[in-house]
Homo-oligomer: A and B are copies of this chain.
Amino acid sequence: MESESGPPLSAAFLAMALGRRVRERVEDRLREHGIALRHLSALGHLHRRPGISYSELARRAGVTPQSMQDTLRRLEQLGAVERTTEPGRGRTAMLRVTDEGHRLRLAGRAVIDETDAAITGAGPDDHLTQSLRAALDRFPLEPERGAGE
């Protein structure tokens, strides 16, 4: 997208470019394990809070239950999570991470750690981490600017 050739590098452009590159790299590495970022994220939530349902998971991840269902379908098909309750329409599911799921989760963490090292320059350059955290803090998500009439 924003090519190298060029000009102007404001913090906004830099943030978008870095975010994109990091995401691409992580997704790339993760793909070798057959998952994407959203799967890793779901595994993380489910690990910290076993037994929660599709909808709860969706709420935490900030997506619709329908989207989360897709994510979980993939994870179930990989044998990474399983439901401890009967499937069925209004039937709230109880989900848990399997051994395979933990294996995947740790592989994912390794990818993140590796990327982390690359991004901070292999040294403890918390300048970056600190700056990022500060920027995130003072940059809250948009307050639903849909109908401020």
Could you list which residues of chain A lie within 8 angstroms of chain B, going by C-beta atoms? 1-3, 5-7, 9-26, 28, 37-38, 41, 44-45, 48, 60-63, 112-113, 115-116, 118-121, 125, 127-136, 138-139, 141-142, 145
Cβ-defined contact, A16 with B14, below 8 A = no
For the residues of A in contact with B, the DSSP-based class is helix
Q: Closest CB of chain B to A149's CB: distance in Å?
A: 14
Interchain Cβ contacts under 8 Å between A and B, 25 examples: A1-B37, A3-B60, A10-B113, A11-B120, A11-B129, A12-B22, A12-B112, A14-B129, A15-B18, A15-B119, A16-B19, A16-B37, A17-B19, A19-B22, A21-B136, A22-B139, A28-B142, A28-B145, A119-B135, A120-B135, A121-B138, A127-B127, A127-B134, A128-B132, A131-B131
| Cβ–Cβ < 8 Å partners of A63 in chain B | 1
| Cβ–Cβ < 8 Å partners of A25 in chain B | 139, 142
Inter-chain CA distance A9–B38, complex, in Å, is 16
Extra inter-chain contacts (12) besides given A6-B48, A14-B133, A131-B131, CB under 8 Å: A10-B112, A11-B128, A14-B129, A14-B132, A15-B22, A16-B23, A16-B37, A18-B136, A24-B142, A120-B135, A121-B134, A127-B131
